[in-house]
Amino acid sequence: MARKTTTQSKIVWTVIAWVVALVIFFPILYAVITSFKTEPEAIDGFSLIPSGTFENYITVQTQRDYFKPFMNSVVLSIGSTILALIFAIPAAWAMAFAPTKRTKDVLMWMLSTKMMPAVAVLLPIYILFRNFGLLDTRIGLTIMLTLINLPIVVWMLYTYFREIPGEILEAARMDGASLWKEIVYVLTPMAVPGIASTLLLNIILAWNEAFWTIQLSTTNAAPLTAFIASFSSPQGLFWAKLSAASTMAIAPILILGWFSQKQLVRGLTFGAVK
Amino acid sequence: MTLKTVLLGACSALAFAGMASAETLTIATVNNGDMVRMQGLTAEFTKANPDIQVEWVTLEENVLRERVTTDIAAGGGQYDIVTIGNYEVPIWAKQKWLLPLDGLGDKYDMDDLLPAIRGGLSMDGKLYAAPFYGESAMIMYRKDLFEKAGLKMPEKPTWEFIADAARKTTDRKADISGMCLRGKAGWGENMAFVSALNNSFGGRWFDEQWKPQFDQPEWKAALQFYADLMKDAGPSGASSNGFNENLTLFQQGKCGMWIDATVAASFVSNPKDSKVADKVGYAMFPNKEGVDNHGKWLWSWNLAVPASSKKAESAQKFIAWATSKEYTALVASKEGWSNVPPGTRTSLYKNEEYTKAAPFAAPTLAAMDAADITKPTVKPVPYTGGQFVAIPEFQALGTTIGQLFSAVIAGQSTVDDALAAAQATATRDMTRAGYIK
């Protein structure tokens, strides 16, 4: 009897999980379907059956260069993630293993910077970028993406590090390990699942960031977000072409997410984000 | 060292110097068909001007405004040429954000520009942006449906005739709406149409002291007319239809009439996309019986040089090329006369090849000639602009009021409530902005 209930509840939960997953995934699926429609089809109400045209992909390829913004997206997302980890690992170590009275306040303050609408600081950031010659440069955007994602990276790593018993680090210290060796050879290997999932999540966040990457770039450093935005048109139909551009832009990150999903889920459920 | 070696070295040095001095122009633009075509033809310009390279930045219309505004305000100098509408040109020129175009060259036939367009882009006799293409608004209607209903479209129809014809051509069973109009909220969406409608009803946005006029009978008559017409002869979900949605409806044969930008004529008459391409007729934007005003809708996409550009000379060279008669001829030779950018030059409408290829040429010119945006309304006003009011506050105010009027079309609000709310909002905003003392 007990077994029957378990099976029934398993089925119910599986169905619920599928429905929730489908609801979350549906906009992406519909964008992919729309990319295979003609423009009049795309705007003509809801339909899951496209006519199967590849014309939009051809037009998108002909009108704009995909490779340059793609490479910019790769450089910006990987570069900003590595830079963020370089700063965040020592910061999270300090907060997790050598906390002070103000550690919680510092963590909260870091997170509070994410609560401000980005546009509120657009002009000062723009003027700083102009003065330092960082407008439309990969270096400038890498710094920007690092800074806006750093609070989340620190928070995530802090919660993973707190799961690690401090006694192990103490033991290493007693064995004569320096601070550097303690972080690199003891802490980091133990926190690999957490660091990996933070890394993957940060790549995804950086890949999808659309406000700053569009505002601070023009031609040289513009990533795929700018590529997508360029297909919106005030006069004339564009939904199908926009969907094709979006599909091309999200495909690499979707594939990365697909292959790393085990790592991502394990990392996310292993740490504090439970 | 022989003379030959010296000469060779000198040549190489010169070539290197030439390469080093090549300037790259960054042009911000929107993703319209004509703009995409211009990007495709850029090689023709760079071939004739090897010392200039061109890079394009294509953005969504509102993002482009944000981006360019931020860059100009902060003196970023990221753009050498920007694509802006005739709404922005007088405002930005007044702010000294744009450079006057005084280097377009002797060959640039300035007097050939359509007077209505040129007037809207000039300040103190100086041109601040060159028109790339222009448009007014007109009626596009189904000749076959009119014939079936025993109707004949006059050259200059009144709103009374149009309302009657819209109701007669509506066939709900066949999914045909007699009238398709913009309903989607936005200063450049429903408010473009509603402002022009109000002009043609004898109304105005503000009086000479900038007092909002939504409490006046003209606004009430215009909005009531619009709401009733959409209820009786409009498509379902009209409150969320903008230019693109109505274009699709018309192309699929689901509209008896559509009143919108003249640029749509080339889309609805293109047999590749439109099922009714051979059945479309054109007529002037209507007016209320006895009111001498046909909406005064005038829009142009223009190329301008921001004051922050450090390559103004080359930028003007490109603008002179892209907005010239020679460019029009180039597009015609590559893609046919029906694809040339319309609505900027008088000479185009005298060109027989163009008028033959574009049956909508004459009504388009008539509509543009009738749209003097320096005198947009019957009663005197302190502003310019036809389907918009050329003040910086209009974007926000127009969109807020657009939401109120869109709710009327959606059946969520009444005409009286929407007008009362519009009056209160406009009075508050104009007082805060210092227009009302």
Packing angle between helix A138-161 and helix A67-97, nearest 10 degrees? Answer: 40
Q: Average pLDDT in the A6-24 region?
A: 92
Residues in B whose CB is inside 8 Å of some CB of A read 26, 28, 30-33, 36, 39, 55-61, 63, 66-67, 70-71, 73-79, 188, 243-245, 247-248, 251-252, 261, 263-264, 267, 273
Q: Grade residue A264 by pLDDT with cuts at 50, 70 and 90.
A: confident
Is A188 part of a structural domain of the chain? yes
Looking at residue A4, what is its pLDDT?
A: 58
Count of domains forming chain A: 1
pTM of the model: 0.82
Q: Given this model, what pLDDT does residue B183 score?
A: 96
Residue range B5-24: average pLDDT?
56
| pLDDT level of residue B409 (50, 70, 90 thresholds) | very high
Please report the pLDDT score of residue B293 as a whole number.
95
pLDDT (tens digit per residue) in A101-136: 999 999 999 989 888 899 899 999 999 999 999 999
Residue A190 lies in a domain: yes
The reported pLDDT for the residue numbered B72 is 87
Q: Does residue B17 have a pLDDT over 80?
A: no
Which one of B39, B54, B66, B78 makes the best mutation probe of the A interface by having the most chain A beta carbons within 10 Å?
B78
Q: What is the DSSP letter of B126?
A: E
Q: Which pLDDT score, from 0 to 100, does residue A42 have?
A: 86
Kindly state whether residue A44 falls inside one of the protein's structural domains. Answer: no
Please check the confidence at residue B398 and state whether its pLDDT lies above 60. Answer: yes
Task: Place B6 in a pLDDT band, splitting at 50, 70 and 90.
Answer: low
Residue B15: the pLDDT is: 47
In a domain, A225, yes or no: yes
Domains of chain B: 3-134+299-353 (3.40.190.10), 137-297+360-432 (3.40.190.10)
- By residue count, chain A amounts to 274
Q: Is the confidence at residue A274, as pLDDT, over 60?
A: no
For residues B390 and B171, give the distance between their C-alpha atoms in angstroms, rounded to a whole number: 40
Q: What pLDDT does residue B322 have?
A: 97
Give yes or no for residue B24 having a pLDDT over 50: yes
Q: In which domain, by residue range, is A150 found?
A: 65-230
Q: Is the pLDDT of residue B14 over 60?
A: no
Give dist(CA B47, CA A173) in Å, integer.
69
- Kindly provide the ipTM of the predicted complex, given to two decimals: 0.76
pLDDT of residue A1: 47
**Top-confidence residue, A163 or B402:** B402
Indicate which CATH number applies to the domain containing A179: 1.10.3720.10
Q: What is the pLDDT of residue A231?
A: 87
Q: Is A250 inside any structural domain? A: no
Q: Which of B390, B388, B384 is nearest to B372 (CA)?
A: B384
Give the per-residue pLDDT at A121.
Answer: 92
- A40 — pLDDT class (breaks 50, 70, 90): confident
Q: Which of B67, B244, B266 to mutate to test the interface with A (most CBs of A within 10 A)?
A: B244
CA distance B142 to A92: 69
What pLDDT, on a 0 to 100 scale, did the predictor assign at position B10? 53
Residue B333 has pLDDT above 60, yes or no: yes
pLDDT band at A194 (very low <50, low <70, confident <90, very high): confident
Round the CA-based radius of gyration of chain A to a whole number and report it.
23
> CA-CA distance, A181 to B226, in Å (whole number)?
75
Nearest to A64 by CA among A195, A209, A231: A231
Domain membership flag for residue A274: no
Q: Identity (one letter) of the amino acid at B387?
A: Q
Is A101 among the domain residues? yes
User: Is there a domain that residue A28 lies in?
Assistant: no
B316 against A237, higher pLDDT? B316
Mean pLDDT estimate for chain A: 89
Interchain contact A98–B (C-beta under 8 A): no
Q: Is residue B13 scored above 60 in pLDDT?
A: no
> Nearest-CA residue of chain A relative to B189?
A234
Note whether A130 contacts B75, CB cutoff 8 Å: yes
pLDDT, tens only, B169-208: 999 999 999 999 999 999 989 999 999 999 999 999 999 9
pLDDT at B29: 92
The rounded mean pLDDT for chain B is 91
Alpha carbon dihedral B204, B210, B213, B214, in 10-degree steps, equals 110
pLDDT, average across residues A16-37: 95
CB B331 within 8 A of CB B339: yes
